[in-house]
Structure 1
Amino acid sequence: MGLLAAVALVSGGVVYTVEQREQDARERVTATRTATPSPPPPKSTKPSKVAASIAARRVAIDTILLRRAEAVRTGNEAMFLADVDPANAKLRAEQKILFANLVEMGFQELGYSQAEERFNPAVRRAHGSTAYLVRILMRYQIPTVDFTPVTTELGYTFVARGGRWLLTADNELDADLGPGAHREAWDLGRIEIQRGPRVLVVVEKGDTARGRSIVAEATEGIAQVTAYWPLKWTGSVLVIALDETDVRDARFADEDIESAASTGTTFSSLPGEESADGTVAGGYIVINPNERDRVDEILLSHEITHVATADLGGYEPLWLAEGAAEYVSWRGIEAISGSAEVAKWEQEVVDEAVPQLAALPGDAGFYQNSADVYGVSWLAVRQLVRKIGLDQVEELYEDLARNGTDQSARDRILQTRTGLTEATLWTSLTTYEPQR
């Protein structure tokens, strides 16, 4: 379900930033001035034409990026398309759809900035010697959903033509960006948004009935999380339900094909930008397109629990993250269907799932494990709730999420708060007999 999967930014080729080039140019100028101090200054002390053109290019691209953000804020399509290559009809059509989607999102904040230049000989051959391939940081904030502005990546190709810079491609760097980059909901065809008091649902344009249904189910899911998980969470939920198997970092076409939904993290600073792990801001829910007709409050209460805990730090073990989410969703099942349904699953976990494992499910390979690791994780959380109470389990979760950076820290925190380690907690599961 991908909530805590580490996101690695893959740098393709040699990264040599514009800033580094400008610094090199300044150092060369300084060295020349030191060597030839007599007036008038020799010609070699002036900034080179290359450095000047690089600086001019940076200003020109920054201006384009500012103009694109302003166009979205003001709903000005002509301004948004003004810097898109007029010879590229396909790109212009795609950019019209992108513009409409961005306006529909209703961002509270939106901005684009250049990160570093990337070099690709094939791109240079395709577009000519002026081709400029650059990683772009898109920083945005969706009202009520994002507590703080978050960042995603893009890759733009610009060319100089007729004395100006034009955007001529927006996908030629995709393979070298982080997982899910350029796969946000607004990048994937024309969308519409259905809204509730604390819910935004993204569906394909015209899929209105489905969007409204999911809003209702997500509203019920939020109520369940509020009722059954002690953390006081006041946020809103973004649910993406598109006919796409690859959205953000949810890839339902391959390893996650059996998952009904996935909650992927958002970052206020991306991994590798300010820190190796990045800074988690929250999470968005993505529905498996094959499961869109079966979305209910039980499924969504599980995912919303992940969203509500996403910004705590992300270092909690997966058995605790998934066990807590299952705990909330099964409390909802119990409220709807009664305790017999829960008792039946509990017995199945004890009889069938626990014997297949030798320890609590580890983070590595958690989602590929053929055993019912969700059930075992749920049973472990239920054991902790019985031992120390739900409020203390929630506090344990927060402590581990912020400070459980390795197994030693996890065991120390777990033992301090519960008197157990993961090993002794597992032993208690192997000897547990459901009470009837």
Structure 2
Amino acid sequence: MPPSADPPGAQVPPHGPRRWLGLLVVVALVSGGVVYAVEDRQQDARSRPAATVTPPAPPNQGTKPPSKTAAAVAARRLAVDTILLRRAKAVRTVNEKMFLQDVDPANAKLRQQQKTLFANLVELDFTEIGYSQAEERFDAAAVREHGASTYLVRVLMRYQIPKVDETPVTTELGYSFVSRAGRWIIADDNDLDKDLGPGAHHEVWDLGRIEVQRGPRVLVIVEKGDTRTGRAIVAEADEALTQVAAYWPRKWSGSALIAALDDTEIRDARFADEDVESAASAGSTFSSLPGQETADGTVAGAYIVVNPKERDRVDEILLSHELTHVATADLGGYEPLWLAEGAAEYVSWRGIEEISGEGEVVQWEQEVVDDALPGLYALPSDLGFYQNNADVYGVSWLAVRFLVKRFGLTLVEALYEDLAMHGTDQANRDRILLSRTGYTEATLWLALKDYEPQR
């Protein structure tokens, strides 16, 4: 059965500027290989407050002393900044006592969770890690729970995992601080979760004790003790990386993070629904979050998350699809979804052809022409791509295969890069397609409708 029949990423949400789900607002549906529709990204960025850090109050220029309120706010900010600096230092120096120093001593559950978090962070051996305050938030329920001094703040965590992140990347979380006996402490770390992006506070280190298995160009994260699964996925990923290098001409020499945990909600991937058949999802990482410096943010790369139900069936075909997304993630994210998913399917089907021979690929090509094309009226659009009951993966693959046959893989890869960087709207997409192939999306669809596979 082709990987797109049980698609490598069929119903897990889109991401990036491309389809950035992971750090913005909740979307209704989870898609596969990449994430969040292009049409949504600007609306999302506008709906989310910019992640600017409030500057400290300027020094008093006159003779009037600052108010008690201003002084208290400044003191609180300094105390919280100190706590955040101390937490980062504790991870870098592997000092659990320092990490727990500012956690509510009366909250045994939170302290145990923080111990687990600390162990996970240390296990990942970050090249860089730091925390900074973004904007203050308010939540009445949190104030009722923790008291009148409650201070809720969105926190930006900036980190770099060695041999995975080419550049430091940023994620977000929320902390609740309270003042007790003249000292600020962390009272909770999830009061703001519902107001953050769906990937916030669902990073791999947030979800229970983990184990890390490493290969030359892959880092696999599994549940603590699940060594066999971790090593098996490393082996399959090594094979998949070879396929991506062989069948996609971009010279990508990066590494990949693959999470295969029990949790059904990791980063922006949602596998909780019983009807979600997606085996894995690749979701973007950001060096600058959407709304932080620009509306779209800056994509740094992508991490792969495996559906817990599919963890024991992960193979090189599935991973070659997802790794194609990882290998193209940092290009910009503006390519149409039919091209993003079609390219990933193209690579995975070349792997199938290598294993099973040309016959199976030729058979599926004919099935797409006979069965899938008649169910659509145009190339699959970004809007509703992952909700479409038609075989949008098959049609996307056919479109890429069609272009490769006519123009060669090198030109198609160059087209992909151009669209990923500059295809910000339909006019630009058609301009780029027309200049490189002579087609617009509309005329490419008409050509596909008349396409007769050659034997």
The TM-score, its normalising length taken from structure 2, stands at: 0.89
Structure 1 portions without partners, runs of 5+: 34-40
CA–CA separation in structure 1 for the residues paired with 2:265 and 2:93: 30
Q: 367, 391, 401: which one pairs with 1:348?
A: 367
RMSD: 2.0
What amino acid sits opposite 2:407 in the alignment? I
Q: Secondary structure at the match of 1:416?
A: helix
Distance 1:392 1:172, change over 3 A: same
Q: 197, 215, 228: which one pairs with 2:247?
A: 228
CA–CA separation in structure 2 for the residues paired with 1:50 and 1:236: 49
8 A contact 1:140–1:151 mirrored in 2: yes
- Look up the match of 1:179: 198
Structure 2 portions without partners, runs of 5+: 1-8, 26-45
Q: Secondary structure at the match of 1:189?
A: coil
**1:22, distance to aligned residue in structure 2 (A):** 3.5
1:284-303 alignment runs, 5 A limit: 284-303=303-322
> What do residues 14-33 of structure 1 show as CA deviations (whole Å, max 9, x unaligned)?
9999847936xx7xx76xx5
CA–CA separation in structure 1 for the residues paired with 2:48 and 2:198: 17
CA–CA separation in structure 2 for the residues paired with 1:72 and 1:61: 17
> What do residues 309-359 of structure 1 show as CA deviations (whole Å, max 9, x unaligned)?
000000000000000000000000000000011011111101110000000
Q: 398, 402, 411: which one pairs with 2:417?
A: 398
CA–CA separation in structure 2 for the residues paired with 1:194 and 1:369: 36
Distance 1:229 1:84, change over 3 A: same
What amino acid sits opposite 2:19 in the alignment? A
Q: Secondary structure at the match of 1:22?
A: coil
- Look up the match of 2:5: none
Distance 1:392 1:208, change over 3 A: same
> What do residues 359-406 of structure 1 show as CA deviations (whole Å, max 9, x unaligned)?
000000001111111110000001111111100100000000000000
1:5-404 alignment runs, 5 A limit: 5-7=19-21, 9=24, 19=54, 22=57, 33=62, 41=63, 45-254=64-273, 257-404=276-423
What amino acid sits opposite 2:330 in the alignment? D
Q: 403, 406, 410: which one pairs with 2:429?
A: 410
Q: Secondary structure at the match of 1:211?
A: helix
- Look up the match of 2:439: 420
8 A contact 2:265–2:272 mirrored in 1: yes
Distance 1:296 1:203, change over 3 A: same
What amino acid sits opposite 2:402 in the alignment? Q
Q: Secondary structure at the match of 2:121?
A: helix
CA–CA separation in structure 2 for the residues paired with 1:16 and 1:231: 33
- Look up the match of 1:37: none
CA–CA separation in structure 1 for the residues paired with 2:429 and 2:365: 26
- Point out the more displaced range, 126-135 or 88-97: 126-135
CA–CA separation in structure 1 for the residues paired with 2:421 and 2:50: 33
8 A contact 1:16–1:118 mirrored in 2: no
Q: Secondary structure at the match of 1:54?
A: helix
Q: Secondary structure at the match of 2:252?
A: coil
Instruction: State the percentage of identical aligned residues.
Output: 71
8 A contact 1:224–1:332 mirrored in 2: yes
**1:220, distance to aligned residue in structure 2 (A):** 0.4
CA–CA separation in structure 2 for the residues paired with 1:201 and 1:215: 6
8 A contact 2:53–2:133 mirrored in 1: no
**1:6, distance to aligned residue in structure 2 (A):** 2.9
**1:433, distance to aligned residue in structure 2 (A):** 1.2
CA–CA separation in structure 2 for the residues paired with 1:179 and 1:410: 29
Higher relative contact order (CA 8 A, sep 6+): 2
CA–CA separation in structure 2 for the residues paired with 1:369 and 1:253: 19
CA–CA separation in structure 1 for the residues paired with 2:48 and 2:386: 32
Distance 1:13 1:252, change over 3 A: closer
Distance 1:93 1:46, change over 3 A: same
Q: List, as ranges, runs of 4+ consecutive aligned residues in structure 1 with deviation greater than 6 Å.
A: 11-18
**1:206, distance to aligned residue in structure 2 (A):** 0.5
- Look up the match of 1:36: none
CA–CA separation in structure 2 for the residues paired with 1:409 and 1:160: 54
Distance 1:417 1:132, change over 3 A: same
**1:9, distance to aligned residue in structure 2 (A):** 3.3
**1:202, distance to aligned residue in structure 2 (A):** 0.4
CA–CA separation in structure 1 for the residues paired with 2:108 and 2:417: 51
8 A contact 1:156–1:171 mirrored in 2: yes
8 A contact 2:52–2:292 mirrored in 1: no
Distance 1:92 1:212, change over 3 A: same
> What do residues 282-316 of structure 1 show as CA deviations (whole Å, max 9, x unaligned)?
00000011111110000000000000000000000
CA–CA separation in structure 2 for the residues paired with 1:163 and 1:415: 67
CA–CA separation in structure 2 for the residues paired with 1:258 and 1:407: 30
8 A contact 1:316–1:397 mirrored in 2: yes
